[in-house]
């Protein structure tokens, strides 16, 4: 699957609820390294933001701005 399609799919998942890197990798059946690179690209383009849940774990959500 192309990088652009994977990024769109990540955004769909993150629109539903906040997810961690490992959760996204598991749902999309990707390696964490590939998932990290996709998230980094989305983060740099301000399409997603990182938040911390009550346990302090990193979660990613779609940027509403």
pLDDT in tens, 24-37: 999 999 999 999 99
How many angstroms separate the CA atoms of 18 and 3, rounded? 21
Contact 48, 62 (CB under 8 A): yes
Output the pLDDT for position 64: 82
| Residue 17, SS3 per DSSP | coil
pLDDT in tens, 7-29: 999 999 999 899 999 999 999 99
This prediction's pTM: 0.90
Output the pLDDT for position 1: 82
Q: What percent of the chain has pLDDT over 70?
A: 98
């Amino acid at each position: 699957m192309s990088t652009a399609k994977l990024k769109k799919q990540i955004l769909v998942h993150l629109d539903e609820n906040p997810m961690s890197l490992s959760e996204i990798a598991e749902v999309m059946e990707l390696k964490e390294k590939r998932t990290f690179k996709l998230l980094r690209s989305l983060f740099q383009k301000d399409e997603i933001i990182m938040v911390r849940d009550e346990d302090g774990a990193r979660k990613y959500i779609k940027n509403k701005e």
